[in-house]
Amino acid sequence: MLTSKQHELLRFIQDRLAATGVSPSFDEMREALDLKSKSGVHRLISALEERSFIRRLPNRARALEVLRMPDAAVAATAAPRPLVPAPANDMIEIPLHGRIAAGTPIEALQGTEGFAVPAALLGPGEHYALEVSGDSMVEEGILDGDYALIRKTETAREGEIVVALIDAEHATLKTFRREGQMIRLDPANRHYEAQRYRPDQVQIQGRLAGLIRRY
């Protein structure tokens, strides 16, 4: 069951594809649904994608494909079939929350500047970007000045690279580990030591979903 906004967006995308063969831009979708920001569009797109009404085609920056409409009869065992096989490229604007230390913890998750990202780089869920500061994750290929694409989550699995908020004040980008009753945040640089904290000191803010490097 779709919400009214999800249904409205799905119909708008399908009508545009049927009329022009090109899906609407995120700005056009935002205006059509009278939303305040493109992040709202991104959340609706992610919800439709999770319910298999649309999908993003791989290896394309702007690629939306309508798989089915709410009133379309789709057999439970059949693979969804695209209604209009004419995708369009698009960019998604996600929040850029300043700089985050890949060395020692610094203040992060501040600011509201937008950061344009190819939609194909992001999966479902809500994302934000952080500019990396420091060299403690270089052995994971994360360099000073890179932009880390972070999927919001409050949980982490062993070995995942996460944004961890320490003592509700500072954030750092590290590999998440458990060590007895402690949480260990591992760097990826032999010149840096692991950081150990009590579980009540650490709040997971997201996990690494991608990386963008500008030359």
Supply the residues annotated as catalytic.
Answer: 136, 174
Tokens of 38: 């493109």
**How many Å apart are CA 13 and CA 7, to the nearest integer?**
10
Is there a contact between 116 and 61 (Cβ–Cβ < 8 Å)?
no
Phi-psi region of 98 (alpha: psi -120 to 50; beta: other; left: phi over 0): left
**CB-count exposure of residue 59 (10 Å: 0-12, 13-18, 19+):** exposed
**How many Å apart are CA 119 and CA 90, to the nearest integer?**
6
Cβ neighbours for 8, distance < 8 A, ≥ 6 positions apart:
32, 33
**How many Å apart are CA 78 and CA 71, to the nearest integer?**
16
Cβ neighbours for 103, distance < 8 A, ≥ 6 positions apart:
133, 134, 135, 136, 187, 192
- Nearest partner of 131 among 139, 143, 116, judged by Cα: 143
